[in-house]
């Protein structure tokens, strides 16, 4: 499992993951070097660069071994060896589709939108954003991850502040301060974790895989470190009540910024919660699950309720993101196969649907110079094709079965129901509200009599239709046949769950079964039991069995951990 063998294996083939980061950076440099008189070429350059990266992600997808739940395409280099820093990139079933989504959304966003001024710096920032996004999804060294996690803020800040609408400076600053303030604490947490775990891991290391399998932080220490991580991720997701930067940033950002923000950057939060939360601190996550489940449910219901009352179409979509991401949080903290798989699926589907929605709202704004719902109306008469596309995307966002949005939502609710039934029941009401706010907004914008400029709005151009077509095709395909996607996600989720079971001795396999007593009283009892148990380990007679089980696990712990570490780090071979 030494890094050298990994390297040997990797060096022989094309280093595709580093290339994903390098290509956009090189593109950015090329754009930067374009003479001012050739600024028009920056769009072409960005399109080519992002498309090459996109095609590479398809290459990764194509060559990804679906049966393998471990890390693939590993690229590892030691860096500052004494400090345990390393260049460590890899994909697994959890990050694979996020990487592909990134590779898809950037070219689509570039094709479908246009900056109003200064194309050169605009595309330059966009390319840096792409590089950073890839890096954040690929990095498995904590510090490297943090670096990329922070890098993405900068281009986004300038994109919102420079090419946004209305109150863009305020929105950009709010976005920056919120996310940066939260992640500053994370850096402290990372250092603390590496420092506290240095003896367990045999010297300091930032390697997430090693840390996850070997660190022995006390529950208090783990709680504190996790808290510093969780805050950074919660802001990014965003989780109630730290979500208020999102509507401002989304609304004022240029369309491409909104697409990337919703489609890619929010996922950094939920991805982080899985990779650097659940993976590193399974016991803590399990203990805190009720808190996050509750926040997730609040996000779903509250986000939808607030979305209903928005007057600005883009702001409405922004709040719908809060609701949709609430589902993702819910699935993660259900900590079971359906919930986690559903969460990853939902991340992808939300990126596709919400990305498409932002593109559509952007087109409406380009044509009508307003996003105020009351200023619109009857658009379907003048623009039937756009209305049809909008309807499809809307139904996907509502979670209509047969379209992509349903699959993730359903799996999440199913998984959550077996872990925490009442949370799932409340969350399921979000399904009603989603229909309410989107259909109502659609009715007020596209239905009804068309007057004034609404009656003469230009329908979709063919280029626009082609630009958004990939998203529409995926909306249908992933709804009808999500199997290829789930097949690649699930093995990794299973490995993760096994890891949690190994690390959390009383995370009994039969836990969901106890919760299965579905009677009304049974539901409450089960939920309460789940809580009290997480607080006090053992004590009541009920826990006799689990305790012995815990001991059994304890005996095999050491061996199983090294095994786990071995298999996971050695996947690249």
Partner 1 sequence: MIDLAWLIPAFPLAGFALLVLFGRRLGEPGAGWVATVASAASFATTVAVFADLVGMEGEERFRVQTLFTWIAAGSFEVDAGLLIDPLSITMALFITGVGTLIHLYSIGYMHGDPKFSKFFIYLNLFVASMLLLILGDNLALTFLGWEGVGACSYFLISFWFSDEANASAGKKAFVTNRIGDFGFMVATFVLFTSLGSINYDDILTRADELSTQTATIVVVLFMLAAAGKSAQLPLYVWLPDAMAGPTPVSALIHAATMVTSGVFLLTRLNPVLAEAELWSRGLIAWIGALTALFAATIAVAQTDIKKVLAYSTVSQLGYLFLAVGVGGFVPAIFHMVTHAFFKALLFLGSGSVIHGLHDEQDMRRMGGLRSLMPVTAFTFIIGWLAIAGVPPFSGFWSKDEILLFAWNADGIGGKGLWAVGLVTAMLTAFYMTRQVILTFFGRTRFFDPTAAEIDAAASGRVGEVEAEMLAVTEARMAAVAALEKAATDVVKRSDAVSKAKTVLVEATAAVGASTDGAEGHDKLVKAFDRAVKAVNKSEAAVVKAENAAAAAEVEVDQLTAQVTATEARLSDVTDEVGRAPRPAAHVTAVTEATDAGPLVEYLPESYHRRQDQHPHESPATMTLPLVVLAVLAAVAGGLNLPFTKDLHFLEHWLEPSLFGNEAKVAATAGTKWILGVVAVAVGAVAIVAAFGVYLRGRADPAQIERRVLADGWYVDESYAGFMGGPGRRLFEGLSWFDRTIVDGIVGGVARSVTVAGQSLRVLQPGFVRSYALGIGLGSVLVMAWFVGRLFQ
Window 401-420: residues binding partner 1 (CB under 8 A): 401-402, 406-407, 410-411, 413-415, 417-418
Here's the x/- map for partner 1, 263-302, by CB under 8 A: it reads as ---------------------------------------x
Where does this chain touch partner 1 (CB under 8 A) — which range of 252-260, 463-471, 487-495, 551-559?
487-495
Q: What would you report as the CA-atom Rg of the chain, rounded to the nearest whole angstrom?
A: 23
Distance CA 346, CA 237 (A): 13
Residues 421-450 within binding reach of partner 1 (CB under 8 A): 421, 424-425, 428-429, 431-432, 435-436, 439-440, 443, 446-450
Nearest approach, Cβ of residue 555 and partner 1 (Å):
27
Q: What 3-state class would DSSP assign to 294? A: helix
Q: Is the Cβ of residue 174 or residue 367 nearer to partner 1 in the bound state?
A: 174
Residues 521-540 within binding reach of partner 1 (CB under 8 A): 522
- 283 CB contacts (<8 Å, ≥6 apart)? 219, 222, 503, 504, 507
Nearest approach, Cβ of residue 176 and partner 1 (Å):
6
Q: What 3-state class would DSSP assign to 460? A: coil
Nearest approach, Cβ of residue 352 and partner 1 (Å):
17
Residues 308-337 within binding reach of partner 1 (CB under 8 A): 308-310, 336-337
Distance CA 308, CA 376 (A): 16
Residues 357-386 within binding reach of partner 1 (CB under 8 A): 378, 380-381
Q: Is the Cβ of residue 217 or residue 407 nearer to partner 1 in the bound state?
A: 407
Nearest approach, Cβ of residue 547 and partner 1 (Å):
26
Strand partners, 77: 87
Residues 28-67 within binding reach of partner 1 (CB under 8 A): none
Distance CA 389, CA 446 (A): 12
Q: Is the Cβ of residue 358 or residue 417 nearer to partner 1 in the bound state?
A: 417
Q: Which two tokens stand for residue 253?
A: 């950002």
466 binds partner 1 (CB under 8 A): no
75 binds partner 1 (CB under 8 A): yes
341 binds partner 1 (CB under 8 A): yes
Q: Is the Cβ of residue 169 or residue 558 nearer to partner 1 in the bound state?
A: 169
DSSP codes, 341-366: HHHHHHHHHHHHHHHHHHHHHHHHHH
Distance CA 479, CA 368 (A): 32
Nearest approach, Cβ of residue 559 and partner 1 (Å):
26
Here's the x/- map for partner 1, 179-208, by CB under 8 A: it reads as -xx---------------------------
150 binds partner 1 (CB under 8 A): yes
Q: Which two tokens stand for residue 524?
A: 């409450």
**The only residue of 36, 519, 536, 559 in contact with partner 1, by rule CB under 8 A:** 519
486 binds partner 1 (CB under 8 A): yes
**The only residue of 158, 206, 276, 390 in contact with partner 1, by rule CB under 8 A:** 158
Where does this chain touch partner 1 (CB under 8 A) — which range of 94-102, 116-124, 140-148, 551-559?
140-148
Distance CA 243, CA 224 (A): 22
Cα 21 to Cα 15, 116, 365: the distances in Å are: 11, 27, 33
Cα 417 to Cα 193, 334, 381: the distances in Å are: 33, 8, 43
- 181 CB contacts (<8 Å, ≥6 apart)? none
Q: Is the Cβ of residue 141 or residue 502 nearer to partner 1 in the bound state?
A: 141
Q: Is the Cβ of residue 308 or residue 370 nearer to partner 1 in the bound state?
A: 308
Q: Is the Cβ of residue 339 or residue 565 nearer to partner 1 in the bound state?
A: 339
Residues 224-263 within binding reach of partner 1 (CB under 8 A): 240-245
H helices present in 139-265, as ranges? 142-151, 153-163, 168-196, 208-214, 219-236, 245-252, 255-260
Nearest approach, Cβ of residue 334 and partner 1 (Å):
11
Burial class (CB in 10 A: 0-12, 13-18, 19+), 495: buried
21 binds partner 1 (CB under 8 A): yes
Nearest approach, Cβ of residue 197 and partner 1 (Å):
23
DSSP codes, 229-284: HHHHHHHHTTPTTS-THHHHHHHHS-HHHHHHIIIIIHHHHHHHIIIIIITT-HHH
């Amino acid at each position: 499992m030494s890094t050298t063998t990994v390297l040997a294996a990797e060096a022989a083939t094309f280093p595709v993951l580093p290339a994903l980061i390098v290509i956009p950076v090189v593109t950015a440099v090329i754009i930067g070097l374009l003479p001012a008189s050739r600024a028009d070429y920056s769009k072409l350059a960005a399109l080519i660069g992002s498309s090459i990266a996109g095609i590479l992600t398809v290459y990764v997808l194509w060559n990804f071994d679906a049966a393998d739940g471990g890390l693939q395409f590993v690229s590892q280099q030691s860096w500052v060896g004494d400090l345990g820093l390393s260049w460590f990139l890899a994909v697994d079933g959890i990050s694979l589709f996020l990487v592909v989504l990134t590779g898809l959304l950037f070219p689509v966003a570039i094709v479908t939108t246009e900056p109003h001024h200064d194309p050169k710096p605009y595309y330059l920032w966009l390319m840096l954003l792409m590089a950073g996004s890839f890096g954040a999804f690929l990095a498995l060294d904590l510090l490297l991850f943090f670096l990329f996690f922070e890098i993405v803020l900068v281009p986004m800040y300038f994109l919102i502040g420079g090419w946004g609408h209305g109150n863009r400076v305020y929105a950009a600053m709010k976005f920056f301060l919120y996310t940066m303030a939260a992640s500053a604490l994370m850096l402290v947490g990372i250092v603390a974790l590496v420092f506290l775990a240095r003896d367990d891991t045999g010297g300091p290391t930032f390697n997430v895989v090693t840390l996850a399998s070997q660190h022995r932080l006390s529950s208090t220490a783990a709680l504190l470190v996790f808290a510093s991580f969780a805050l950074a991720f919660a802001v990014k997701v965003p989780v109630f009540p730290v979500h208020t930067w999102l509507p401002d940033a989304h609304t004022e950002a240029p369309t491409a910024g909104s697409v990337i923000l919703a489609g890619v950057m929010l996922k950094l939060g939920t991805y982080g919660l899985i990779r650097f939360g659940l993976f590193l601190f399974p016991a803590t996550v399990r203990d805190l699950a009720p808190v996050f489940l509750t926040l997730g449910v609040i996000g779903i219901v509250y986000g939808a309720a607030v979305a209903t009352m928005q007057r600005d179409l883009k702001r409405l979509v922004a709040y719908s993101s809060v609701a949709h991401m609430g589902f993702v949080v819910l699935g993660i903290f259900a900590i079971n196969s359906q919930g986690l798989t559903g969460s990853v699926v939902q991340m992808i589907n939300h990126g596709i649907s919400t990305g498409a929605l932002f593109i559509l709202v952007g087109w409406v704004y380009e044509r009508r110079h307003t996003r105020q719902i009351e200023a619109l109306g009857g658009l379907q008469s003048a623009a039937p094709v756009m209305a049809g596309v909008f309807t499809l995307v809307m139904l996907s966002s509502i979670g209509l079965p047969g379209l992509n949005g349903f699959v993730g939502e359903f799996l999440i609710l199913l998984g959550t129901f077996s872990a925490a039934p009442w949370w799932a029941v409340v969350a399921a009401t979000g399904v009603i509200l989603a229909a309410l706010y989107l259909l109502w907004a659609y009715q007020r914008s596209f239905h009804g009599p068309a007057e004034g400029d609404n009656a003469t709005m230009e329908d979709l151009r063919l280029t626009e239709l082609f630009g958004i077509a990939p998203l529409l095709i995926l909306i249908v395909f992933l709804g009808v046949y999500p199997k290829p996607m789930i097949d690649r996600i699930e093995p990794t989720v299973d490995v993760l769950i096994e890891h949690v079971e190994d690390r959390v001795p009383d995370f009994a396999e039969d836990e969901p079964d106890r919760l299965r007593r579905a009677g009304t009283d049974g539901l409450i009892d089960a939920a309460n039991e789940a809580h009290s148990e997480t607080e006090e380990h053992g004590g009541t007679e009920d826990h006799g069995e689990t305790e012995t089980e815990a001991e059994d696990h304890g005996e095999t712990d050491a061996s199983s951990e090294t095994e786990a570490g071995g298999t996971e780090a050695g996947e690249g071979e």
